[in-house]
Amino acid sequence: MEAWFALLVGIFFTVAVYLMLSKFIIRVLLGVAVLGNAVNLLIFTGGRLTREVPPVIAGDAEVLAGPAANALPQALILTAIVISFSFFAFLLVLSWRAYDDLKTDNTDEMRVAEPVNEPAPPLGY
């Protein structure tokens, strides 16, 4: 099962990188969203994928009976999902504002902060 998940994570990463290399902000944003999910799946896979044994220690035992999935990655992913979701929301609004204000969603044309052909600094006075 790990191998399939690893493959899935790989596909997610490929898609995310492909989208993030785009010039258009909205595609970059989708790439960031996919990247976040790729990482979540990665952490999930890192905690072992075992369906059969729940990570609960029986009353008369001190350790788990067999190899069980690690429960902590789910807590980590929960944190990461909340964080990446809030960032996605912020960046979505920001992209909308940028499109509204700068009249473009092409990152090549977003040169307000770094204008093209700026005059060189003076060589002397």
Partner 1 sequence: MAASTSPPVDLSAALVLAPPTAAEWLVVLPVAWCLTFGALLVMMRRSIRLHPTITIVGLAGLVGIDALLLLEIIRNGPMTMVMGRWLPPFGIAFTADLTGALFAFVAALVALAAGIFSIADINDSGRRYGFYPLLLVLMAGVSGAFLTGDIFNLYVWFEVLLISSFGLLVLGSEHEQIDGTVKYGFLNLVATTLFLVATGYLYAVFGTLNMADIARKAEGLRSNAPLMTLAGLYTLAFGMKAAAFPVNFWLPASYHTPRVVVSALFAGLLTKVGIYALIRVMVMLFPVEREELSFVLAIAGSLTMIVGVLGALAQSDFRRLLGFLIISGIGSILAGIAVGGPGGIGGAIFYALHSMLVMTALYFASGIAMRLGASASIVTLAGLYRRHVGFAALSLMLCFAVSGLPPFSGFWPKVMLVKAALDIGAWWLAAVLLLAGFLTTIATGRLFLLAYWRDGAVAIGETPPLPATTLAPLAALTLLTLVLGLYPEPLLATIQDAAAGLADPSAYGESVFPGGWPQ
Q: The tokens of 25 are what? A: 């902000």
Q: Among residues 66 and 79, whose Cβ is nearest to partner 1?
A: 79
Task: Give the Cα separation of 90 and 106 in Å (integer).
Answer: 19
Give φ, ψ of 113 to 5 degrees: -75, -30
Q: Specify the residue, 15 or 98, whose C-beta has the smaller distance to partner 1.
A: 98
Closer to partner 1 by CB, 52 or 118: give it: 118
Q: Which is nearer to partner 1, 46 or 55 (CB)?
A: 46
State the minimum distance, in angstroms, from the CB of residue 56 to partner 1. Answer: 12
CB of 59 to partner 1, least distance (A): 4
42 phi-psi bin (left φ>0, alpha ψ -120 to 50, beta other): alpha
Contact 20, 28 (CB under 8 A): yes
Q: How far is the CB of 87 from partner 1 (least distance, A)?
A: 6
Q: Which residues in this chain contact partner 1 in the complex, by CB under 8 A?
A: 20, 25, 28-29, 32, 35-36, 39, 42-43, 45-47, 59-60, 62, 70, 72-73, 76, 79-80, 83-84, 86-87, 90-91, 94-95, 97-98, 101-102, 107, 110-114, 118-122, 125
Distance of CA 87 to the CA centre of its chain: 10
Contacts of 98 (CB under 8 A, 6+ apart): 25, 105, 110
